[in-house]
Amino acid sequence: MRISESRLRKFIRRALLEQAAGVPPVEEPKYDLPKGEWVLLSPGDPLRDAIQQDLYDLVSKTYADVEGGKHVKISGAGDMGRYPIWVVIDHDEDPEIDIGIFGKQQFGAKSGGVGHDDSGASTSMYKATSADIRSGGSIGGVGNWWGEVSGKAAYALLKRGAPAVEDEAQVRALMPGKKIVWHGEHPDPKAAGMFKSVKGWYTKDFGSGGDHTKIIIGNPDI
């Protein structure tokens, strides 16, 4: 990331003043993002290199409590590059990102996952933003967000009014070649009322990852 000449002068002047006063120098931020604004980072954006490790660290923290203890397709910072769409935000006092949502182009923007710092503010902001973009909103011109979800993530999105894809033909078209058993209604008779309020449920064969009951929530371009 290139630092402007005026900003460099300010940094040098501050360092000299702090040195004269015996104050330890303040580390220059690794990157500079507007506070409180979602930013789209597409392939080729130099900020992706600067942010990649921080985004991976957030993803690792977020998925530590899921079965397996990690994101199924991300084992290192370099794996973040498999997703061409990153939207990130820095909303608190420190200069690092607090939330990152990532995905790929497939019938719109198919969500690949999320990373956040696990604070209450970030958790609430992520849930609200995820519901908004899956309900027709966009970030940086990227819209038509959708993805497969289950459990707490599905509950949070449905609770916030995000739409489910309830047509079997559309679900199968969104996942060509995938092995799914269509249910419509949630197959668990003891499922939460929120889950019973929609009829887009199916069980998908994830190979070595086993079978899992999912639903597509969002606004795919199909």
| Average model confidence (pLDDT) across the chain | 90
Q: Are residues 106 and 118 in the same domain?
A: yes
Q: Are residues 81 and 123 in the same domain?
A: yes
Q: Report if residue 106 sits inside a domain.
A: yes
Q: 15 is in which domain, residue-wise?
A: 1-29
Q: Report if residue 159 sits inside a domain.
A: no
Distance CA 137, CA 153 (A): 18
Q: Are residues 20 and 38 in the same domain?
A: no
Q: What is the mean pLDDT of residues 32-46?
A: 95
- Half-sphere exposure (CA, 13 Å, Cβ side) for 173? 10
Q: DSSP secondary-structure letter at 151? A: H
Tell me which of 79, 109, 143 is where a domain ends.
143
Q: Report if residue 156 sits inside a domain.
A: no
Q: How far is CA 127 from the centre of its chain?
A: 10
Residue 200: CB atoms within 10 A of its CB come to 21
Q: How many domains does the chain have?
A: 3
Q: How far is CA 1 from the centre of its chain?
A: 23
Q: Report if residue 132 sits inside a domain.
A: yes
Q: What is the mean pLDDT of residues 37-64?
A: 96
Q: Report if residue 153 sits inside a domain.
A: no
Chain segment 148-201, per-residue pLDDT in tens: 999 999 999 999 999 999 999 999 999 999 999 999 999 999 999 999 999 999
